Amino acid sequence: MIQPLRLFDCLNYQLEKFPKKDMLVAKENGQWRPYSTEEVKQTSLKLAAGLLTLGVSGNDMTTENRDKIAIISNNRPEWLITDMAVQQSGAILVPIYPTTNPLEIEFIFNDAAVKYVFVSSEELLQKLQGIRAKIPTVKDIFTFNPIDGAKHWSEVLDKSTDAGLAEIEAIKGKIQKDDLATIIYTSGTTGTPKGVMLSHNNIVQNVFLSKECFPFDDQPQYKALSFLPLNHIFEKMVSYIYMFSGIGIYYAESLETIGANLQEVKPDVFTTVPRLLEKVYERIMGKGAELKGIKRQLFFWAVEIGKKYDNLIDGGFLYNLKLSIANKLIFSKWREALGGNIKYIITGGAACQERLIRIFNAAQIPLYEGYGPTENSPVIAVNRREPGGMKFGTVGPPIKGVEVKLMDDGEICVKGPSMMVGYYKRPDLTAEAIIDGWLHTGDIGVFEDDKFLRITDRKKELFKTSGGKYVAPSAIENKLKESRFIEQVIVLGAGQKFVGALIVPSFANLKDWCAKNGVSFQSNETVVKDPAVIAHYKEIVEQLNHNFNHVEQVKRFELLPREWSVESGEVTPKLSLKRKVIMEKYKDAIERIYANGTII
């Protein structure tokens, strides 16, 4: 049996253990098109050999001299095929979010000296063409979709020769586990993108440690639905777990088609981020609110039962009976909406509301939260599938092989084989992040029951009021978002006398409320200024404030007329808030809060 040391070893590993007809599967011309293990292997080798004819050199394995190849694409089989082709050619992959703005792309491509680029769509091609003159290192761009006037990626495949394939085999033999596999630029919530250098060993170790701890069994009959961006280390690393476990990867057509694709694929597993889970839950609750009579009563009765579920404490005979009835009458429909076959869902990338984890698990939809930054490839901790291995509200125990310690201020530090090599061309930032062999994550946490890690906030996001009291905004924000009338929120108060908030309403639910309460809803802009609506939100905030100490309670807020998005620049591609951007964009609203905002 092959001992995997490099990421692309998954090809021979899968061929030897469980060769598949559906290693990768995507919708093409309205039909699900499977790519077998053998086809993926041969296509990746041909693409690697084609890259050699373009002048990509894999003979010098020093980081600075290795060619960099970028990919900007939606999730699809060509993504991972290109990833493995680049690895086998000796080059380094630089993956980019499709939503990244042109200025950031220009910075990243020049910083990494990107030589070739693979893009999926005409829209992305045009975005690149607009800045290409400012990126002198880029020699050519290839597209996955056939586009008039553009070079299709098949042109690179066609350049493959027997001599090139033989050279690729020689290059593969030289690639060591500690050689770089990728440079992932993290946009973060502030500042210039930083290139996180991850070696084959970093990611392979994280794959197998996570696979052992979660655990991911070898399940060749399982199917995974993939929709989180593959350029993010979370989805990329999990994709390699799938491939090393024999799980077939099916790609959602888009975020908008996830519901339909779940019904078609009926997956056993998928990964997600909390924001998408929140949207799923909001849609479910919206449909529940439309029910009438006894059906409506039963729906909300089941939700209340679910909110009280605790996997570590037996609720007793009566509670378990009620939960069984709720599952049969209500939650069974939730499971059907997810395809009816889910064995587990893993969420990461940001803090997940405890309420969501509690309700989904009560509904027999196993939802597990994990945690880790790009700099650790990424997993540090994850809740376990084994009995007693999960505690709601925590990110679970640290995985084996990873040491975790908490600094005096609660900052989480980690040491282990999956810790990054460093930041590309930034030894200064590397020295700030890795001190005495420990990666400082910038996250604040505590251990519960000497076992489970709970993330309480970001170190840089903690703020102090003018009264000298520290406030952790994310916990307050998550609690406020439990209201179905609140879509997004940012908590403020650094240097101020009290805590305030900018609130983006859930306009679909607010519209329904307005209709039932005789309030005119002409537009988002007018409704957020309506006194009855403001009073409604004041009541919501006042009720949720009871969960916090006096100094943490939101005293004033302002309602905003439109949702924050990646496109408008207030949210990162993994849907985290860009706090500095929001505070600058809405400084007038913040000034009003601290001058004459709605007082709770």
What CA–CA distance (Å, rounded) separates 382 from 85? Answer: 31
**Nearest CA among 223, 257, 205, 207 for reference residue 74:** 257
**pLDDT value at position 2?**
58
Helix (H, G, I), strand (E, B) or coil at 129: helix
Residue with tokens 């408008």: 568
Name 182's Cβ contacts closer than 8 Å, sequence gap at least 6: 83, 92, 93, 94, 95, 198, 203, 236
Helix then strand then coil, in percent of the chain rounded to 5, is 40, 20, 35
The pTM score is: 0.85
- Buried b / exposed e over 259-274, threshold 16 CB at 10 Å, is eebbeebbbbbbbbbb
Which pLDDT value is given to residue 549? 84
356: tokens are: 């969501």
Collapsing DSSP to helix, strand or coil, 366 comes out as coil
Q: Which residues of 156-183 are buried (b: 16+ CB within 10 A; e: fewer)?
A: bbebbeeebbebbeebbeebebebbbbb
Alpha-carbon 106 to chain mean position: 24
Residue ranges in the chain modelled with pLDDT below 70: 1-2, 58-61, 187-191, 596-600
Beta-ladder partners of 415:
403
DSSP letter at 147 equals -
Tokens standing for 395? 């990110």
Q: Is 569 left (phi over 0), alpha (psi -120 to 50) or beta?
A: left
d(C-alpha 40, C-alpha 458), whole Å: 40
Alpha helix segments (H runs only) across 18-153: 37-53, 77-89, 102-112, 122-129
CA pair distance 302, 360, nearest whole angstrom: 12
With tokens 């991850």, the residue in question is: 198
Alpha helices in 327-471 (DSSP H): 332-337, 354-362, 427-433
Q: Which residues pair with 452 in a beta bridge?
A: 448
Which tokens in the block code for residue 434?
Answer: 């890795």
Domains in the chain: ranges and CATH: 7-175 (3.40.50.12780), 463-599 (3.30.300.30)
Instruction: Find out whether 202 and 8 touch, Cβ atoms under 8 Å.
Output: no
User: Rounded distance, CA 338 to CA 372, Å?
Assistant: 26
Report d(CA 494, CA 462) in Å as an integer: 9
Query: Considering only CA atoms, which of 331, 277, 278 is closest in space to residue 301?
Result: 331
Other beta carbons within 10 Å of 34: 15
Would you state the structure tokens that stand for residue 135, as one six-digit string? 């990126």
Cα–Cα distance measured from residue 53 to residue 157, given in angstroms and rounded to the nearest whole number: 10
State yes or no: cis peptide before 387, omega within 30 of 0.
Answer: no
Pinpoint the alpha helices (H) of 502-574.
507-516, 524-527, 531-544
What's phi and psi for 101, nearest 5 deg?
Answer: -75, 155
pLDDT at 188: 54
Q: What is the DSSP string of 257-279?
A: GHHHHHHHH--SEEEE-HHHHHH
Q: Which residues contact 42 (CB under 8 A, 6 or more apart)?
A: none
Three-state DSSP class for residue 579: helix
